[in-house]
Amino acid sequence: MTPTSNALPRQTKRYEQKRQAILDGAVQLFNQKGLKGTTLADVAQSVGLITNSVTYYYRKKEELATACLLRSIEALDALIATALQRKTPEERLRSILQLYCERLAESASGDRPPLMSFSDMRSLTSPHMELVFDTYNQLFRHLRSLYDLEGAPPLSRAEKNARAHLLISVMHGVRHWIDHYEPQDYRRVADRISDILIHGLATPQSAWHPTVLPQMTWPSAEEVSPEAFLRSATILINEQGYRGASVEKISARLNVTKGSFYHHNDNKDDLVTACFERTFAVVRQVQQAAEADGDTGWDRLCTATNELIRYQISDQGPLLRISAFSALPEGLRGQTKRTMDRLAQRFGSFVVDGMVDGSIRPLDPFVAAHVVDSAINAAAELERWISGVTRETAADIYARPLFVGVFSPEAEAEAQPASTARSAATSARG
């Protein structure tokens, strides 16, 4: 009997099944241990093969990682394509988040393999990095078309890029906290995120005029100093994960020797711990200053968000990305994760304060806290996606849409320079 046109020969089917099993096992390990911390032998063991069997399909680990990343990008691109067929911008955005969270729920339930985290993309080498980034950029442009379709507000290219980066950053961030919920509740989480992004956080009397906190001062990282090593390590961990940020690479960024590294640091693990503590200290200081400065929950949340985004693209930034946590050694994870969650939930306290005083509309404070935290966390990459963005303009073009709604046109309420915001905010409060 002649096989149908879409039927694969038995050998080809077996080949494809084994290849997909290798990809499934590799994604699990890459997400847990990072690209640098995973070996082909680890992957082979996870799927019950010998290493030579894996190298029959993927000769090198980077080829395997590239295949995993491209498969995940393809899956995201497909759900975006489905969602963009809806009629209105609001329906399209809701559908993107619903389909995405449903996909995460299927992975959490064991019904489908997980998507690979994109945090290690920059640890790839040429030509794999170029291939993955080109494909990811196509995904980004596809998502950005949400703001080009009928019904979307008139926006500049920079504004579209900022809002697309905000949306995809919130999507990436969801993976780090949605496990607080049962998989059957992930759809509800998607609806609550959509509500926040579409309608913003503000009540009608609240306006986006964040205050710059003049008392915020940070150690200089210009010279070879403990602070300089912390900043260098933070940048490398964000780009290449814990294992990719080697002593050699950290030292090379500062043009110093390994001897100089060990003159200032006892070992790499202690430096990484100090990097997390540095990030936590900055967030705590900003949150405390915003709490003391603001009259309302809205004021405090706007001010803290603005200040942390300014820090992210300053000479002292960035903060460690949430994604850096996943590749930490097991012994460093527990307390680090608890601290990250506590600091994120402090934004939730500002949201609750705002709902009580009437400056923030009723919404889910837990979800809002993590959405804001994800947006702040991803601000370290703003300069990659928004040409010409500065400390003074970053929060206005990137965070303001989150606070007032991503389909709100900029012309509706021109954002003032943050340096003049204190007097404007005082006047607005009457």
DSSP β-bridge partners for residue 360: 202
| pLDDT value at 213 more than 90 | no
Between the CA of residue 347 and those of 189, 367, 404, what are the distances in Å? Answer: 18, 10, 17
DSSP β-bridge partners for residue 202: 360
Return phi, psi of residue 109, to 5°: -85, -5
Q: Which residue has the higher pLDDT, 293 or 187?
A: 187
Owner of token pair 């200089």:
220
Alpha-carbon span 286 to 312, nearest angstrom: 12
Q: What radius of gyration, in Å, describes the C-alpha atoms of the chain?
A: 23
Give me the long-range contacts of 244-250 (CB less than 8 A, separation at least 24): 244/34, 244/35, 244/36, 244/120, 244/123, 245/272
pLDDT value for 327: 56
Average pLDDT, whole number, for the chain?
87
pLDDT value for 149: 86
Average pLDDT over residues 160-187: 96
The answer to whether 51 and 41 are in contact (CB under 8 A) is: yes
3-state helix vs strand vs coil in the chain, percent to 5: 70, 0, 30
The answer to whether 183 and 109 are in contact (CB under 8 A) is: yes
Q: Which residue has the higher pLDDT, 259 or 4?
A: 259
Alpha-carbon span 119 to 326, nearest angstrom: 9
pLDDT value for 412: 41
Percent of the chain with pLDDT over 90: 61
Q: Is 412 helix (H, G, I), strand (E, B) or coil?
A: helix
* Closest by Cα among 170, 419, 392, 428 to 299: 428
String of DSSP letters for 224-256:
SSHHHHHHHHHHHHHHHHHHHS-HHHHHHHTT-
| pLDDT value at 224 more than 80 | no
Structure tokens at 262: 């060990």
pLDDT value for 7: 54
Least confident of 12-26, 52-66, 203-217: 203-217
Predicted confidence (pLDDT) per residue in 80-108, tens digit: 999 999 999 999 999 999 999 999 999 99
Q: Is the peptide bond before 318 cis (omega within 30 degrees of 0)?
A: yes
Average pLDDT over residues 288-307: 95
- Identify the top-confidence range among 154-168, 238-252, 308-322: 154-168
pLDDT value for 217: 65
Return phi, psi of residue 360, to 5°: -125, 135
